[in-house]
Structure 1
Amino acid sequence: MDPMVQASIATFRVTTQMFDRLVMLDYDMNLVPGLAESWDVVDETTTVFHLRKGVKFHNGEEMTSEDVKYSLERCMANPGVNYNYLIIESITCDDDYTVTIKTSEPFNALLPRLTLDAASIICKSADTSPEEFNKNPVGAGPYKFVSWELGGDVVLEAFEDYWGGAPAIKRIIFRTIPEALNRTIGLETGEVDLAYDLGITDLESLEGSETVTTMTSPSTTVWYVGVNVQKAPFDNQKVRQAIAYALNPQDYIDLVFSGEATLANYTMMPPSVDGYISDCSSYSYNVEKAKELLAEAGYPDGFSTTLWCSDSQVMRDSAVVIQEQLRQVGIEAEVKTMENGQYYADTGEGAHDMYIMSKTSIDPDSMLRAMYHTEAFGPSGNRSFWATPEVDAMIDEASTTTDTEHAMELYAEIQRIVADAAPLVPLAVEHLNAGMQSNVKGFGLYPGKSHYINGTYFE
């Protein structure tokens, strides 16, 4: 229930209903006022935020600048998410409703970064110790916490004193249903009102239904296969490059997403995010090239390893396809499936060999920093544990320059360098979908995948 532990969509899909941020993004990824009704960019390193007055937390207390300062400093202190905020030098409470944020250098991604769930504003006076906060999280969002059965349902209820007006839907039960088919069956039987991430074949079967409607939308989420470069043989670049040649992204998309995804073109930058280039590498599916590189690396007969994934249908389907593609070049990968929370925790600690993951981004810095910067090792996103001083410096320079053209040149060069190093292989840009009962209206798919329930209503 704590959005500041680690960057996890599974967490954010719940917490984004309970916590607002200073600045928000709408469904078209436009910046809109949140808990800050306006802001002034004073200079290259200074932004002043003017808070809404009368905003209530779920415990009835009024939000002030002290809560904002406390929340963002708590975020900056947490190694699971703080890589996005380390450039913040100071947060000052000018008065109860004015906050000044200064960065150590010019930072062109500050506003987008403050829209992330990790920058949620929480109540300073609430018990924010890890154990207690999970039992009683206190935010200022449209829904407040009721209960959570560990591994089971999360129950939220509408916050009638929400600054944006009381939500129309008065009670939400988040239920984890790992099998996509069972989510569809839940829609068809009426047990489920709204379901995320349906199977593509299930979407097709629902076409023309009188009781269920569906929607699809492009996302900014990239699926990839990564390796732990701290372990042999993945410390060998030729082995990593062999894996890039061994994987067939189009077959992966066809088999896992029934063709409903976009080729990632070997970059973690989705096409809709500034800085994307489609020609960052010369990789292609080439079994013989993969075998040749493995032989040059000292593994002419391949090797055995483990391929980690979480217990979701996309993950399991991905593991089956990737396992078979690796087998074609002599890499025998035993699939290790884990519960979602344990999977994120253990891969964050570097216990894995190979792993499957997805990453959602809203700006180039948040993606490249999470995947390839030393600051992001572990739970923050860099589960490959690969970084170089050169790439660290380029990422930092791109995020601090006020020359947009130069930043885009740096992002392009970073993509080429990391593609050659191949600590991970981007495969597909996911398409989002949802299904809902025909009387559910007002819901929209958020490109960042967390999705807002507020604004949804029953007709």
Structure 2
Amino acid sequence: MKRIKFVGLVLLFITGILVMAGCNSEGSSGKSDGGSDAPSEITYATTSDAAGLSPIDTNDSVSSNVTYQVYETLFTQNPETLEPEPLLAESYETPDENTWVIKLKEGITFHDGTPFNAEAVKYTFDQMKDPDRAAPRASLLDPVESIEVKDEYTVVLKTKEPYGPMLAALSHTNAAIVSPTADKEGDINKEPVGTGPFVFEEWVEGDHITLTKNEDYWREPAEIETVTYKVVPEVSTAISMLETGEVQFIDAIPSDHLGRVESIGNVEVQKSEGTRVSYLGFNMEKEPFNELEFRKAVAYGINQEAYVSQLNGIGVHNESIIGPKVFGYNEEATSSAYEYDPEKAKQIIQENGYDGQEITLFSANRDNYMKMAEIVESQLTEIGLNVSIETMEWASFLDTARQGDYEMTFLGWANSTADGSELLYPNLHSDNIGASNYSRYSNSEFDKLVEESRTSVDQEARKEKLHEANVLAMKDAPWVVMQHGMVTLAYDKSVEGLVVDPTGMWSLYPVTRE
């Protein structure tokens, strides 16, 4: 029997994508522009509104930025090592390889005053697994066969077979525990209720989301009193607001704007290698995108290095699906990529009758995806394809892509667990077609390798299975990897205490303002 006991408080830091914090009502101009003047307030500018505020019902980084402050998970990732550590959990034991007995911290309440306990954990996980609810990240708990309440503060998870990434999965933002009462009696996708350091105040869709400090938080309350997520669709406007002090931080800085942000006198910019992967995905259920020769032609015709070179150092060129910062990465995988070769692409197109093939690149109206679309449109036109671009706002884009109503699209995956199994399984395993497998890729050999990577508790064996699965998927080419991302953020220098890990997640709990 393996038993691990955790003692003391564990800092709620990070887990999935994006940024940092700022403050100070003065920008480089040295004057206030009527923004957030009080040190106890902080405003973040986001170019897209949240799709929803329920961890069960959403699966995008924009929404996670909000839910991560309101809800909490049983475990959380150490921001430096990315190893799971307890948060709402007190300890766990594994009496056998298919059983996880998790002791919970006592005396914690949800924001609505109801108790956090084993029943709440069971309810949340049952909802995630309920096919009628169709949780987009149900895959996190797919190996879990049963969820039992042993006593008020002990929950027992039994799996069908060993589940190597269990603690990583339980650290994921979409595995956060919700108030059963709030979920049954209201709509937590509009009015979230968790145990976290901030409480939901209001959501004016398309304009802003406001959170306030949880005065009854089970740890010391946060220093920040009010958090505002301000929807600012134009990046240039968001940067101007950062400069004047109307907002205190932004993240995911588009490369075209990086120089401008770095020139603002009272703003710090941070860049570090992250776990995010961005890709061009094919709809494998439509012709000719379900034909390997067509996908190979596209892959040979795209020059990712030309794209990455325009990112001003905030992207990494590596065509492996599993990136360098993700568990399971093996440098040898890069040799399996279809390297840029426009002449070979043209040859395949001519030999297979694809010349002049009309294709539509589907993109969210976010700067990073739009840049990818424009560059790929130009490159694919040069090899003989007839290419157009269709754009859509973020929430509608996600719904449309999930339904498979597209031909080729641009997407990204933050890799919030930093585990290759939880990259390949949700995104490319056939179990998740119609959910998080947007490309609708199905390969039984690949599925088997990914399943083996999840069911082994031998980490070296897991790495080998992940490498094999990665290489197989690269050869099948349901994706063309565009880049592996850098975590970027810009914040006012008066902000202290915000930590961002390679997955891009950030917590406002430890943040202070001078």
Sort the TM-score into its range (normalised by shorter chain).
Answer: over 0.9
Identify the structure with bigger relative contact order (alpha carbons < 8 Å, sequence gap 6+).
2
SS at match of 1:243: helix
The question of 1:45 aligning with 2:101 is answered no
Q: Contact conserved, 1:446 with 1:452, CA < 8 A, in 2?
A: no
Would you say 1:436 and 2:436 are equivalent positions? no
Shift in Å at residue 356 of structure 1? Answer: 0.3
2:151 to 90, 95, 105: 95
Aligned partner (choices 54, 58, 64) of residue 107 of structure 2: 54
Alpha-carbon distance change, 106 to 222 in structure 1, aligned in 2, over 3 angstroms: same
1:404-445 Cα shifts (integer Å, max 9, x gaps): 333222211111111111111112111011111111111122
Shift of the 372–427 alpha-carbon distance from structure 1 to 2, 3 Å rule, reads same
Match of 1:246 in 2: 301
Please give the alpha-carbon distance, in whole angstroms, between the structure 1 residues aligned to 2:224 and 2:189.
23
TM-score calculated relative to the size of structure 1: 0.95
> In structure 1, how many angstroms separate the alpha carbons of the residues matched to 2:433 and 2:210?
33
1:36-435 paired onto structure 2 within 5 Å: 36-77=89-130, 78-128=134-184, 132-200=187-255, 202-207=257-262, 209-255=264-310, 257-265=311-319, 267-280=320-333, 281-299=336-354, 301-361=355-415, 362-380=418-436, 382-435=437-490
For the structure 1 residues 456 and 97, does the alpha-carbon distance in structure 2 shift closer, same or farther, using more than 3 Å as the test? Answer: same
The CA distance in 2 between the partners of 1:224 and 1:46, in whole Å, is 36
Q: Give the letter aligned to residue 232 of structure 2.
A: I
The number of residues matched between the two structures is 454
Deviates more, 1:196-205 or 1:3-12: 196-205
Which segment is superposed worse, 119-128 or 238-247?
119-128
Per mean C-alpha deviation after superposition, the further-off stretch among 105-114 and 362-371 is: 362-371
Offset at residue 264 of structure 1 (A) = 2.4
Using the TM superposition, name which of 1-10 and 399-408 deviates more: 399-408
Q: What is the one-letter code of the residue matched to 1:62?
A: P
> How far is 1:125 from its partner?
1.5
Matching residue's letter, 2:219? G
Q: Give the Å deviation of 1:159.
A: 0.7
> Cα distance, 1:209 vs. partner?
4.4
Whether the 8 Å contact between 1:179 and 1:313 is mirrored in structure 2 is no
Q: Secondary structure at the match of 1:314?
A: helix
One-letter amino acid matched to 2:136: G
- Structure 2 distance, partners of 1:34, 1:332, is 52
Per-residue deviation, residues 52-85 of structure 1 (Å, max 9, x unmatched): 1111110112211100110111112234111221
Q: Hey, what's the Cα distance between the residues in 2 that align with 1:391 and 1:201?
A: 38
Q: Which amino acid in the other structure matches residue 368 of structure 2?
A: V
| Inter-CA distance 178–432: structure 2 relative to 1 (3 Å threshold) | farther
Question: Hey, what's the Cα distance between the residues in 2 that align with 1:282 and 1:422?
Answer: 9
Task: Say if 1:183 and 1:105 are closer, same or farther in 2 by CA, change over 3 A.
Answer: same
Letter in 2 for 1:53: E
CA shift at 1:204, angstroms?
Answer: 3.3
Aligned with 2:70: secondary structure?
A: coil
Which amino acid in 2 is paired with 1:21?
Answer: T
Whole-angstrom CA distance in 2 between matches of 1:154 and 1:136: 11
Shift of 1:186: 1.3
Q: Which runs of 5+ in 1 are unaligned?
A: none
Q: Deviations over 1:296-351 (max 9, x none)?
A: 3222x231111011111111111111111111111222111101000000100000
Preserved CA contact (<8 Å) 1:84 1:366:
yes
Aligned to 2:5: none
Q: Which residue of 2 aligns with 1:6?
A: 58
Letter in 2 for 1:81: R
Report how far residue 206 of structure 1 moved: 4.1
Contact 1:433 1:445 in 2 (8 A): no
Tell me the percent identity: 29
SS of corresponding position for 1:357: strand
Q: Report the residue type matching 2:494 in the other structure.
A: N
- Distance in 1, matches of 2:464 and 2:391, equals 39
**Separation (CA, whole Å) in 1 of partners of 2:361 and 2:128:** 31
SS at match of 2:189: helix
Q: Note the C-alpha offset of 1:207.
A: 3.9
Q: Work out whether residues 57 and 189 of structure 2, in 8 Å CA contact, stay in contact via their aligned partners in 1.
A: no
- Counterpart residue type for residue 11 of structure 1: S
Residue identity in the other structure for 1:329: I
Secondary structure, in 3 states, of the residue corresponding to 2:201?
A: strand
Q: Secondary structure at the match of 2:353?
A: coil
The amino acid of 2:458's aligned partner reads: D
Note closer, same or farther for the CA distance 1:390–1:112 as it changes in structure 2 (3 Å cut).
same
User: Could you say what secondary structure the match of 1:414 adopts?
Assistant: helix
Distance 2:382 2:171 in 1: 43
The answer as to whether partners of 2:321 and 2:474 remain within 8 angstroms in 1 is: no
Asked if the contact 2:337–2:475 (Cα under 8 Å) also holds between the matched residues in 1, the reply is no
Q: Distance in 1 between matches of 2:405 and 2:445?
A: 26
How large is the Cα RMSD of the aligned pairs? 1.6
* Matched position secondary structure for 1:133: coil
CA deviations on 1:189-243 (whole Å, 9 max, x unpaired) are 1111111122335443444644212212221100100110111111110000111
1:81-133 Cα offsets, whole Å, 9 max, x none, are: 1122110011111111111111110111000001111111011111347x722
Q: Which amino acid aligns with 1:398?
A: S
Letter in 1 for 2:171: T
TM-score w.r.t. length of structure 2: 0.85
